[in-house]
Amino acid sequence: MAVGAKKEEESIEIVKPRNDKREYRRIVLDNALQVLLISDPETDKCAASMGVGVGAFSDPEGLEGLAHFLEHMLFYASEKYPLEDSYSKYITEHGGSTNAFTSSEQTNFYFEVNADCFEEALDRFAQFFIKPLMSPDATTREIKAVDSEHQKNLLSDAWRMSQLQKHLSTKGHAYNKFSTGSWETLEVRPKARGLDTRQELLKFYVENYSANLMHLVIYAKDTLDKAQTLVENKFHEIQNIDKSSPRFTGQPCSSEHLQILVKAVPIKQGHKLRIIWPSTPEIRYYKEGPCRYLGHLIGHEGEGSLFYVLKKLGWATSLSAGDSDSTNEFSFFKVVIELTDAGHEHFEDIVALTFRYIQLLQKSGTCKWIFDEISAICETAFHYKDKIRPSDYAVNIALNMQWYPPQDWLVGSSLPSKFNPGIIQSILDELVPSNVRIFWESTKFEGHTDMKEPWYGTAYSVEKITSAMIQEWMAKAPNEDLHLPSPNVFIPTDLSIKDATQKTAYPLNLRKSSYSRLWYKRDTVFLTPKAHVIIDFNCPCAGNSPEAVVLTEIFTRLLMDYLNEYAYDAQVAGLYYGVSNTNNGFQVTVVGYNHKLRILLDTVIERIAKFEVKPDRFSVIKELVTKDYQNFKFQQPYQLAMYYGSLIVHDQALPWDEELEVLPHLESDNLVRFYPQMLSRTFLEFYVAGNIEPKEAELMVQHIEDMFYKGPMSLSQSLFASQHLTTRVVKLEKGVSYYYTAEGLNPSDENSALLHYIQVHQDDVLLNVKLQLFGLVAKQPAFHQLRSVEQLGYITVLMQRDDFGVRGVQFIIQSTAKGPKHINSRVEAFLKMFESKLHEMTPEEFKSNVNALVDLKLEKHKNLHEETRFYWREISDGTLKFDRKELEVAALKQLTKEDLIGFFNQYIKVGAPQKSSLSVLIYGSSHISEHSKDKSELGEPDNVVIEDIFSFKRSRPLFGSFKGGIGLVKL
């Protein structure tokens, strides 16, 4: 029986983008649940997101992390669907994904799934908010999962510094809390007080999960009327206790927490300055956008800006500014500056120049033309917004629903439209010395602090700073020319869609020469005024030694550095560029509105052609690159395992420590000599897609060819046939298990990690789909068994792997609970258990999984960026199967359960004769004592322990490459 709901779309018109064909309707169920229905007949996936207006701020005293723990527990099971993990299994088997997160004032649950399975998935989802089980058995296991998540965060500077800012606030205020929870807060301390965590959890759920505090977004393929009926039937049973929305009044920072300088010791090398003011929440004035206006100016990077001056002085490498940690009651305006070593020594000057820029804004008054420019940029961005994943879209709107009136649920704060100088001035008046908190992070403070933050153990000290001190600093600071930005010339004015005379399903090889190859794909699907241009500079000299790799990286970063003040306006206006090093050279990408894209691209190319090395900037970039290499050892252990895995199987990969070793000896003169050598022989691979005509694309390529190869001062010559390099992959021997063991690089990190990689085959349509089907069928059972049941670690993943067309599958697990050898044995135990599950699979289950994979493959690209990423991968790997999806779907439809079992028995099964596996075992500090014993035990028959990576690589054959010479499709 359908239950009534108020339909309110007649009275409220929801503002939506001009190019958005989707339909929207707001309804309120009888239990006061507010719902936004979205109908998109073109979608392949349907989605739902439930925002519950209760988060970590509502945690009871002494039960820190309870809201987050509840988020974990709801996923397990419900009275209607009591089988543990059946919800996640259903979603995964039907081409979907699901997740949740807890923020300060909201907990959000979401999923997406194939459209034809949406109704049942939605029913399972709804039961979490009606009658969840939260079994006693799952409680202890999931507290361990929460603790494992906390262990993962312990050595993260982002988490540590965020908690330190909270710690230095008013005790008893919600902002002061520790939000994620741990074994200590959810098990040890409650037990010591005689509390039963599960009972507290049930109580918290009953008292807070009320329908009137919930906001639901439904993204459906059906009509709005059908979606409404579905929601009314599924969600009307959620209880409504008419609970008042939690409010956390009062400012989190009293006078003792203002006018302070906090010196803190981070984990990673480097120096960072956070200048913070408690401020009026932007949410109250979202149409006036005062923080957006001030953030735009204080965070500007063009000539005359604060960052421009700090960069010119050699003191800063990045700067951002804006509203942060915002609620209805309080907010913080933050300026975050990454400092160089020299900048660290000029701390007072940097603070002074920041306040001097704020003083400039006070004197200049609020400029209408600047507000109008911001407003125009925001309006264009809103109306030409790309489609994104349905679940991401649903989550974004569910978050907005808690804060904004219904007509602005899609807009949020993204359309400032009311110019109000008084409101902007009132926020500016809050950015004063008497209201400031300065957090200064540097490893140089090690041994010079006297306090520790209790949850993460961050070392810090606090000093008082007065307005008078800051005034003194301002008087002594360098007298630099700070001024407001000039009008932005990159704002697009021509947003017309060009007529496409020729419709092509796949990229065309439009132009070919000994210097370059142009792939072109006209946009006839998304019909937005945008384009995507990729230029791959294939330079054999760029990757042939550690020195060459490092110099190429410094070159690309210097190029970005030089372009910044010119091209920053382009980024603000929605035109993005990037220059990055690749395995065999470097790559230029320009993406965004096509109207002025060519102007930006020509400038980037000109800067490459006329590149000069400025010794002062070289020193700054070298310092940055050095710190990045030094900070390599602070990666998460699972990332280190993935690094070693790639180092072992990628033929030309070089180790980070060799690159770090050569760095100190490289000077600007080395780059002066290296740059012309790098570009002396090069081949350019172009991909041009979007709202650009073929002739435009060809002229673009011709212009760049002329500049590099044909001018009086030409830099480059075409590659010799022997110089067309490819990245090749080491072929692991069949029937052999390889092991590589290493101790973690950070002695403070207790986490160990395992990468268990199974190499299967080189790109082949039939084998691809068998491997993908195995991955789909095994993914959720692996997560459930290894993460939920055995609690090996929060990070537990089974995923596909593709190394330049060589396909495989890998398990990645990070753990403090168990050592990597034990984890590896549990992966093998899972594979043995999974073998019987594979045989027990019913014909219906097999067909359902095949259909899910077919739907996944037939899913349309949602935007130009997604489409470009797909086709560029085919081009860069050399596989060129632009019709890959269609070929693989045809193969999938022919598969039988016996084919899948045969594949498993041949390539995946423990002990399979054709199986090639590589296990990378990383030992954290809590398991380091097991390392040598484990290593000696691994060397059994048919096991090979890799002692020296490079000797091993030299001893193994390589897979052939798909990349041929000029114009060749395959070797």
Residues with catalytic roles: 71, 142
Are 283 and 328 in contact by the 8 Å Cβ rule? The answer is yes
Residue 735 to residues 182, 738, 749, 812, 911: CA-CA distances in angstroms? 42, 10, 34, 21, 7
Count of CB atoms situated within 10 Å of the CB of 763: 18
How are strands ordered across the β-sheet holding 530-538? 508-512, 516-522, 683-690, 530-538, 585-593, 575-582
Are 469 and 436 in contact by the 8 Å Cβ rule? The answer is no
Cα radius of gyration (the chain): 29
From CA 842, how far away is CA 760, in angstroms rounded? Answer: 26
From CA 51, how far away is CA 73, in angstroms rounded? Answer: 16
> Across-strand partners of 24?
38
What values do phi and psi take at 239, rounded to 5?
A: -65, 145
From CA 190, how far away is CA 184, in angstroms rounded? Answer: 8
Are 311 and 300 in contact by the 8 Å Cβ rule? The answer is no
For the chain, the first-to-last Cα distance in angstroms comes to: 64
> Across-strand partners of 958?
730
Residue 135 to residues 77, 83, 182, 400, 416: CA-CA distances in angstroms? 8, 11, 19, 33, 47
Alpha helices, DSSP H, located in 726-812: 765-782
Instruction: For residue 389, give the nearest of 586, 606, 217 by alpha carbon.
Output: 217
| 84 token code pair | 């543990």
From CA 296, how far away is CA 288, in angstroms rounded? Answer: 14
Nearest 5°: the CA angle 6, 7, 9 is 145
Are 242 and 210 in contact by the 8 Å Cβ rule? The answer is yes
Are 786 and 827 in contact by the 8 Å Cβ rule? The answer is yes
Run of H or E including 379 = helix 368-383
From CA 297, how far away is CA 354, in angstroms rounded? Answer: 12
Instruction: For residue 654, give the nearest of 632, 672, 677 by alpha carbon.
Output: 632
| 826 token code pair | 């549990």
Specify the 3-state DSSP secondary structure of 216. Answer: strand
Nearest 5°: the CA angle 141, 147, 151 is 140
Are 465 and 343 in contact by the 8 Å Cβ rule? The answer is no
Instruction: For residue 600, give the nearest of 580, 579, 565, 575 by alpha carbon.
Output: 575
From CA 559, how far away is CA 563, in angstroms rounded? Answer: 6
Instruction: For residue 793, give the nearest of 831, 751, 846 by alpha carbon.
Output: 751
Residues 564, 566, 568, 573, Cα dihedral to 10°: -150
| 100 token code pair | 């949740």
From CA 448, how far away is CA 264, in angstroms rounded? Answer: 9
**Residue-by-residue DSSP string for 583-643:** TTEEEEEEEEESTTHHHHHHHHHHHHHT----HHHHHHHHHHHHHHHHGGGGS-HHHHHHH
